[in-house]
Structure 1
Amino acid sequence: MEATTDSRPSAGAAARPEAIVERGDIRFTVLTPRLVRLEWNAEGRFRDGRTQVVVHRALDVPPFGLAEDDRFIEIDTGMLRLRYEKGTGRFAAGNLAILVRREDGPVTWNPGDAQKANLGGTYRTLDRYDGDTWQDGSTLPLEDGLIARDGWHVVDDTQGFGLDDDGWVEERPAGDRQDLYFFGYGRDYRAALADFAAIAGPQPIPPRFVFGYWWSRYWNYSDEELRALGARFEKERIPLDVLVLDMDWHTTPGLSLRAGYEQKDIFGEASGWTGYTFNRSLFPEPGAFMRWAHGQNLRVTLNLHPASGVMPHEENYEAMAKALSWDTSTHAPIPFEGTSPRYVRALFDTILKPLEAQGVDFWWLDWQQWPESKAHPGLSNTWWLNHVFFTEMQRDGDRRGLIYHRWGGLGNHRYPIGFSGDSVISWTSLAYQPHFTAMASNVLYGYWSHDIGGHTFHKHIPRPERHLDPELYARWMQLGVFSPVLRTHSAKEASLHKEPWHFGPPYGDAIFAAIRLRYQLAPYIYAAARQAYDTGVSIVQPMYYPWPEHDEAYSHPAQYMFGNDILVAPVTTPSGAAAAAPFPVWLPPGKWYSRDGAEAFDGGGMVERSYTLEEIPIFVRPGSVIPLYPEGMRDLASVPDTLILQVFPGAQGATELYDDDGASQGYQRGEFARTRVRNRHGDRAHRVHIDRMEGQYEGRPAKRAYVVEFLDAGIPESVEVNGEALPYSAEPKPRSWSFDAAWLCIRVDLGPVSVDEAQDVVARFVPEHAAPKGLLHRMRRAADAVRYLKQVWGDISALPDDVDLAGQAARVLAYAVDEGDDEGRAERFSAAVRAFEKRYAGLAASVDATPIDDAFKRAFADRLGR
């Protein structure tokens, strides 16, 4: 279906005439087989322009039946049957009914019916919430979502403000009226979201750098401190894409909030939060600082609290006043009014664009003042500021719009991304955020950015006792990997350090691994962002989207689908005294594989397992092909020349690689490319076919180096690319295959190949040389357990040699594969596997028979998973 964003002309806001049934004071518009607009106006006047929520109605008209007599109008789309009694005026239970046909039986809606099982939407902020509970004990007042187990939903746009051709606010129509959108979808939730996206606009794709790591801290950073911070990230080889500067970047007049006072502006609002002039004691040369940041491929965003208007101390106060013909003789603040075209134009032209010229890439809006516009009561300031700032950026050349602000209500999905505010640092908050993020997909708000690690401590915790639990932070970072945006942030407390190098093993190791994994997953995430734009289905998806018929999909809200192929259940409970945290996961029916592909699970029930700090419950659909970037990336400013295709076990599967320039709005004009990858796995051969790249965009590569990884593999008899046999190499190199014993995978390096030519990769096997199921899990648990024993027990020389050998099983297998002739490689591998399995089976007993402390023995067994 066609869709439009706010930056496009408003032609298309009116529905096609053939979709409309109008009779006097009522009008019905059939938009899709599942979506009908219902209008009643006492004077027979209807609106066709854009509103805050609905921006496009000129959809392809679906076939529908119309039956009418002197008394009734009946419209039947196949999915819906609408019946209205003519001449009875306002829609009510007695004159209008819509039947929704569902697989489990029809349901009838009448105006005024209350939903019984709405699946939730989102809320403006998580400020001061511990999970979903505020400091006074009240519960987060979530808004309704677009979908419900009832099978229908109604969006009431009667009171929605209009948008004119310039995207500016229009008053609500006067008079007695109703303007309703009825969605009837049964269990087809994704279809409901697609229908809403068709009329309300798609989720824009953010610039590619958004999906990297954001560093943010509420701290009065100086230029020198931020340069030192950047150098440390470089030294530690930690990738980074965005630098966030909180309020202290700007000056504040007189006695500010930081001094413990509240200087009020002309509206009685605290003016210490508003500012537009760099604090030169922190940033002597702001332009030079931002040139340095851009030289490091860092994007810069600054915090704005615009409520106090423009104060007389600002550097560009005079320019702003001149643009508005404002009398500066009294040195009075220029009051804020976001719905004034003159004010907003002057603000951008004289205040914000000069800062952007210095290097500000986008704005962090932090509106926390009066909720509604003073000029347009009922218009949310949060919603309106999101609209104004995003569309202004869209109009400025061809760059993609991007803001960073709170949720303002339906229609705000067009203005990513979200800032969820200052959540409490606790395991409860961590446990709630997966559910909160997934629910937001029910209103297409697919880009929440949370304060990873939490923002502030419980108010009842004494300051000397406030410290960040490293296990909690490591687990929160793992959630961040599988979130729309990975951004750490915290309150202004000296004890709240979230720099990865502040954490020793094993927590620091887990944090580093999480960030690296995020960057490896970037091509998968970016393709999921394109899918969200095309379909309305966000990156983070509740389990009930693909499995709506299963009650378990609704009763396990802490797990979700990340894109189409990956199921994630981030660990949100502490391990306590144990070495691993127990965390049950519901797996939907069918086969599932662990993240490394080495373990197979039968779905349709609970998987009861414990997870060490290094482990994340990640499950992948069989046959999936997951695109990855190589390790070692520093940022997402450019796309690597090499792409890894991780191929999971399963009879067949497919994926589509997605590419565009990562920065412009060209993707909306068809400037992008897709590459289809298909996977087929039989008993003796595993084939991956990479199609030629289809589509064009600026910067499209002529060549790409593909590395195909067959997971959970044994030693193949041969590997072929386009019918040509490749040689084995102990070290990965182009036009060869190697075996990675640490992942039990065959790695086929195609080298640079033309993207305009298809590539066919085939690995041929002898079934008896396949790796035993679960081998990699056992190898890793053995390595972890032996490493632990060496750390806590000074001398393990009394242990049998098999203990140390079991701990380095991957190295032993690598030697078996690499040492010797090609003919015996598979047999040597199988023999080494059998030897490890025998050692592993006796590990717990070997350690138990020694004089090592019983507590260490139990911890050793925990790490083995026994």
Structure 2
Amino acid sequence: MFENNLWTMEPVGRPENTIQGDKYRFTLLTPCLIRMEYREDGKFEDRPTQVVWNRKFDPVDFRVEKKGEGFELFTSRMHVTYAGGPFTKNSLNLNAVGGQNAFGAVWYYGEKGDNLGGTARTLDGVDGECQLQEGIMSRSGCSQIDDSHSLVLDENGWTQVRTGDGVDIYVFAYGNDYKEALNDFYRLTGKTPMLPRYALGNWWSRYYAYTEDSYKALVTRFEKEKIPFSVGVLDMDWHLVEEVDPKYGSGWTGYTWNKKYYPDPERFMNWLHDHGMKISVNLHPAGGIRAFEEAYPAMAKELGDVDTEHEAPIDFDITSRKFLEAYFKCVLHPEENKGVDFWWIDWQQGNITKVPGLDPLWMLNHYHYLDNARDGKRPLTFSRYAGPGSHRYPVGFSGDSIVTWESLNFQPYFTSTASNIGYGWWSHDIGGHMFGYRDNELALRWVQLGVFSPINRLHSSKNEFMGKEPWQFPMEIGEVMKEFLRLRHQMLPYLYTMNHRAYKENTPLILPMYYTYPAEQVAYTVKNEYEYGTAFIVAPVTEKSVQGVGRARTHVWLPEGTYIDFFTGLVYSGDREMDMYRDLHSIPVLAKAGAIVPMTEEIFGQEADRNPETMTIRVYGGADGSFQLYEDDNESNAYLKDECVLTDMDLKWSTGRFVIQKAAGRLELIPQKRTWTVEFWGVKDTEVTVEVEGTVVEASKEYDEALGCLKVSVPEASVTSEIIITLGIPALRENDVKAQVFNLLNQAEIPYMEKVAIMEILDKKISNAAKLTQLTAMHPEEGIVGAVGEILTAIE
């Protein structure tokens, strides 16, 4: 039990990379990453810890010059000076050189640099911002992880307390090479494993006393409304709560189904499975196993030393391996046999145990994840963050945030910044959990953020007025919510490929803008803007719509290049900052020219678990591009052995040639034939030629003038066929400025004659700058000039 077949552990560093004295040891891991240890007893640690699992990196070229009791150490990327003796800021420092950090960052032991932040344990009760723990990225070029106090893992995978005192730190001297630093962080601490495919769909969650009938009615309504969900989360009212006799303590902890609500739990969960939903069930385990629990007799028998005559409670002792093994065997596994797919570990009882320094949350995450992987299953847990290394146990539950615009405004930054400590799979309470106020636009904007988040889990508290069902909102709001929830499932082929990229290439789905553009000052200021996989830049709407304009304003920075709006098809030129204005139907999602995005229309029922037969490929014009679609069995750990199917797609923009290559790999994992629809976005209408295996075939073609979208439908073909689509004259569309401004003004709540006057200015044969000057002089309602200006100057 608890065998680790998911990660490689090579905890002993290379002797040839080591500089060691009686009381110190320095181990080079890369030219930029060094481990520094100091112990008075000279007994250094070579076992894996809760954080660090691998220290056997590649050999590093270095030079050492002895200096008295210390030395100077040189690699191609750093210069370490150590004067000997205990580590102090006077005795130990490091200069980072080379790479993208030519300015030469300096680090002194014990001092913190300009850290870009990491993440936080929880957003419980947060209304707006909270303090973030540190990550490994720093604008000053150097940062550290202090691993001095984490527990070690023995040869059996169990935790042990370190003996004695000492210093054990890792210094990252990568300058602004953030992607390189993150890659080596994962090498040091272990990879982020792949999620099962269903986890990337929509999750329904609510703290609410559902019954079997009411939950079935809810799911049936979702199906009727064509709103896809792939995960159903049951909060604590699945088990006995109010019914618990006070003599047993609180009903907060519980493991026994409330039969008034769920007379036959297995029947209920089978029904959910039949309707395409996996099931996660909430645990607050701190209260232990009390005598009223159905699992109590089995636990008592397994442990053998329980006073059952007096109904002695079985304490939850995470430090006892005997208890932990009995807990999984007698309490959790029987419920999994009934249908629970994974557990929501809702630990809220602090970080104190019998073992000094042992955080029970870390132990729960670690052993739950290993246990969920038994029998070759791809594991999943849902729990809170427990410090560096927590990325090994996805998915993260960020806690009970307050329902306010301030909370929404913090979450994009919070999510992307977590990548600085490798934590890429946050799940927020989309819509907010509790308190706050009703604001229909806020609810919608939060759902839109959720769709472009790592995990999209709608959630709320028991308050009867706080339901997140789309039909609880005014028609326009509710319909847009439905559209976005469908969009999430349409994007599953893209998201699943990014899921594999996160594992294989050590690159989270969401990255702050400064990862790709570290030398651009503005990349550090657009805190709510992020890269969303290989294709998109996203800047969620986190403020109310501007009065009178009917659109919300979002400040966006576009790096150099050409971009095409995912929703409107508008083409933008980059290398500038600008305000973007969006109505309720969209947020700024900008596809990079040349981006290729695989999608599907198979989004209901069991489809979140399957590789689709029909694919819609979005191709964004303006530059060359490529994409490798990744597919596997979606549920096992075979991905660790690269047992998968890869389909390469390439766009050569200058010739208008788009190629879907033959699928390669374990072809039995995907449909043998597929129907492809290829949408070219941001392009002019043109003739199209389609070839399948070198033979020209008939294919239907449609062009949407308003979106600049050329849709080509390819007849069903074998997945081992090469498909080539050639555009006659490849060219980017010209934005229909007049039509776009008319649509804006048509919805704007300003005087009618002012709208006419604005359109007259647009018709004038003068420069855009002159038009904006005249618009400003008219003093229209706040935001109108900005919204019109965005459209006028989208291409500069």
Q: What is the TM-score with the length of structure 2 in the denominator?
A: 0.90
Measured after TM superposition, the shift of residue 370 of structure 1 is 3.4
With over 3 angstroms needed to count, the CA separation of the structure-2 counterparts of 1:97 and 1:282, relative to structure 1, is same
SS in 2 for 1:48: coil
Superposed CA deviations along residues 101-139 of structure 1, whole A, max 9, x for unmatched, are: 144421232212222x1111111111111111xxxxxxx
Check whether the contact 1:286–1:358 (CA below 8 A) recurs between aligned residues: yes
**1:194 aligned residue:** 183
1:751 aligns with 2:715: yes
Query: In the TM superposition, what whole-angstrom CA distance separates every residue of 1:491-512 from its partner, at most 9, and x where no partner exists?
Result: 1111112111222332012101
CA distance in 2, matches of 1:584, 1:662: 38
Residue 415 of structure 1 corresponds to which residue in structure 2? 393
**Local SS of the residue matching 1:610:** strand
Pick the aligned partner of 1:647 from 619, 643, 652.
619
Cα 1:645–1:445 change in 2 (3 A) is same
Q: Which one-letter code corresponds to 2:149 in the other structure?
A: Q
Distance 2:50 2:143 in 1: 18
Question: Shift of the alpha carbon at 1:584?
Answer: 2.2
Partner of 2:650: 678
Q: In the aligned structure 1, how far is the partner of 2:741 from the partner of 2:216?
A: 40
Question: Matched residues in 2 for 1:751 and 1:784: separation?
Answer: 38
Instruction: Pick one of 149, 152, 166 that aligns with 1:162.
Output: 152
2:85 is aligned with 1:124: no
Structure 1 counterpart of 2:277, from 251, 273, 298: 298
Deviations 1:825-861 (A, max 9, x none): xxxxxxxxxxxx99xxxxxxxxxxxxxxx99xx99x9
Partner of 1:593: 564
One-letter amino acid matched to 1:679: L
Give, in angstroms, the shift of residue 476 of structure 1: 0.6
* Worse-matched range after superposition: 751-760 or 540-549: 751-760
Q: CA deviation at 1:199?
A: 0.9
Of 206, 209, 219, which aligns to 1:220?
A: 209
Specify whether residues 433 and 239 from structure 1 end up closer, same or farther in structure 2 by C-alpha distance, changes over 3 A only: same
2:688–2:725: 8 Å Cα contact kept in structure 1?
Answer: no
Could you say what secondary structure the match of 1:181 adopts? Answer: strand
> In the TM superposition, what are the counterparts of 1:352-751 in structure 2 within 5 Å?
352-373=332-353, 375-394=354-373, 396-458=374-436, 468-575=438-545, 577-578=547-548, 579-596=550-567, 598-630=569-601, 632-634=603-605, 635-682=607-654, 685-696=655-666, 699-721=669-691, 724-727=695-698, 735-741=699-705, 743-751=707-715
Q: State the Cα distance separating 1:622 from its structure 2 match.
A: 1.2
Overall identity of the aligned pairs, in %: 37
Q: Kindly tell me: are residues 10 and 604 of structure 1, through their superposed partners in 2, closer, same or farther at Cα, counting changes over 3 Å?
A: closer
Deviation at 1:626, TM superposition (A): 1.3
Of 735, 755, 758 in structure 2, the residue corresponding to residue 774 of structure 1 is 735
- Counterpart residue identity of residue 726, structure 2: V
2:85 paired with 1:89: yes
The answer (yes or no) to whether the contact 1:598–1:773 under 8 Å persists in 2 is: no
- Count of residues in Structure 1 that have an aligned counterpart in Structure 2: 759
Partner of 2:292: 313
3-state SS of the aligned residue for 1:273? coil
Q: Give, as a single letter, the amino acid of the residue that structure 1 aligns with 2:735.
A: G
2:578–2:790 CA contact under 8 A, matched in 1: no
Q: For the residues of structure 2 that align with 1:78 and 1:864, how far apart are their CA atoms? A: 46
Report the RMSD for the aligned CA atoms in angstroms.
Answer: 2.9
Give the match's secondary structure for 1:343.
Answer: helix
Tell me the residue number matched to 1:113.
111
Structure whose alpha-carbon radius of gyration is higher: 1
TM-score by length of 1: 0.83
- Aligned counterparts of 1:778 and 1:338: Cα–Cα separation in 2: 66
Name the counterpart of 1:351: 331
SS of 1:282's partner is coil
- Using the TM superposition, give the Cα deviation of residue 581 of structure 1 relative to its aligned residue in structure 2, in angstroms: 1.5
Q: Does 1:204 align with 2:190?
A: no
Separation in 1 of the partners of 2:348 and 2:282?
A: 12
Displacement after TM superposition at 1:714 (Å)? 2.6
Deviations along 1:611-645, whole A, 9 cap, x unmatched? 11112111111111111112654441212112222
Please identify, of 696-705 and 403-412, the stretch whose mean Cα deviation from structure 2 is larger. 696-705
Output the CA distance in 2 between the equivalents of 1:75 and 1:674. Answer: 45
Matched, 1:340 2:320: yes
Q: Conserved in 2, the CA contact under 8 Å of 1:785 and 1:863?
A: no
Structure 2 counterpart of 1:231, one-letter code: T
- 2:41, 2:8 → 1: CA distance? 25
What is the aligned counterpart of 1:37 among 31, 35, 38?
35
Q: Name the CA distance, whole Å, in 2 between partners of 1:110 and 1:73.
A: 16
Q: In 1, Cα distance between the equivalents of 2:173 and 2:298?
A: 53
Tell which deviates more after alignment, 229-238 or 60-69.
60-69
Which secondary structure state, in structure 2, belongs to the residue aligned with residue 272 of structure 1? coil
Q: CA offset at residue 778 of structure 1?
A: 5.9
| Residues 1:148 and 2:138 are matched in the alignment | yes
Distance 1:235 1:48 in 2: 58
Asked if structure 2 preserves the Cα contact closer than 8 Å seen for 1:126 and 1:423, the reply is: yes
- Displacement of 1:863 in angstroms is 14
Letter in 2 for 1:773: E
Instruction: Give, as a single letter, the amino acid of the residue that structure 2 aligns with 1:648.
Output: Y
Please give the alpha-carbon distance, in whole angstroms, between the structure 1 residues aligned to 2:732 and 2:159: 64
Alignment-mate amino acid for residue 642 of structure 1: T
**Structure 1 pair 184/561, CA: closer, same or farther in 2 (3 Å)?**
same
| CA distance, structure 1, for counterparts of residue 568 and residue 743 of structure 2 | 18
- Equivalent in the alignment of 2:777: none
Structure 2 partner of 1:730: none
* Kept in 2: contact 1:119–1:144 (CA 8 A): yes
Contact 1:782/1:863 (<8 A) preserved = no
Give, in whole Å, the separation in 2 of the partners of 1:105 and 1:82. 16
Q: Are the structure 2 counterparts of residues 8 and 449 from structure 1 closer, same or farther at C-alpha, using a change threshold of 3 Å?
A: closer
| Residue-by-residue CA offset, 1:25-74 (whole Å, 9 max, x unaligned) | 22221111211111222222211111000011222223333444765534
Q: 1:593 to 1:42 in 2, by over 3 A?
A: same
Cα distance in 1 for residues equivalent to 2:391 and 2:140: 24
Q: How far apart in 2 are the matches of 1:402 and 1:721?
A: 42
Q: Which moved more, 1:233-242 or 1:710-719?
A: 710-719
1:74/1:550 Cα in 2 relative to 1: closer, same or farther (>3 Å)? Answer: same
Cα pair 2:18 2:28 within 8 Å, conserved: yes
Q: Is the 8 A contact 1:72 1:84 kept in 2?
A: yes
Indicate the SS of the match to 1:584. Answer: strand
- Quote the offset at 1:487 in angstroms: 0.7
CA distance in 2, matches of 1:712, 1:555: 29
> Following TM superposition, by how much is the alpha carbon of 1:99 offset from its aligned partner in structure 2, in angstroms?
1.8
Equivalent residues of 2:253, 2:288 under 8 A apart: yes
Q: How far apart, CA to CA, are the structure 2 residues paired with 1:788 and 1:25?
A: 72
Distance 2:667 2:728 in 1: 37
Work out the CA distance in 2 between the residues paired with 1:104 and 1:52.
34
Q: Which runs of 5+ in 1 are unaligned?
A: 133-139, 257-262, 459-465, 728-734, 797-801, 807-836, 839-853
AA at the equivalent of 1:605 = R
Q: What secondary structure does 2:88 align onto?
A: coil
Asked if the contact 2:534/2:595 (under 8 Å) is kept, the reply is no
Q: Deviations over 1:770-819 (max 9, x none)?
A: 675223x7656756876899xx99xx9xxxxx9xxx9xxxxxxxxxxxxx
CA contact (8 A) 2:612 2:671 kept: no
Mapped partners of 1:564, 1:35: distance in 2: 27
Worse overlay, 513-522 or 428-437: 513-522
C-alpha separation in 1, matches of 2:467 and 2:119: 29
Q: 1:670, 1:498 → 2: CA distance? A: 39
Q: Distance in 2 between the 1:114 and 1:610 partners?
A: 39
**Does the CA contact (< 8 Å) of 1:597 and 1:711 recur in 2?**
no
Give 5+ residue unaligned stretches, structure 2: 765-779
Contact 1:202 1:536 in 2 (8 A): yes
User: Which residue does the alignment assign to 2:56?
Assistant: 58
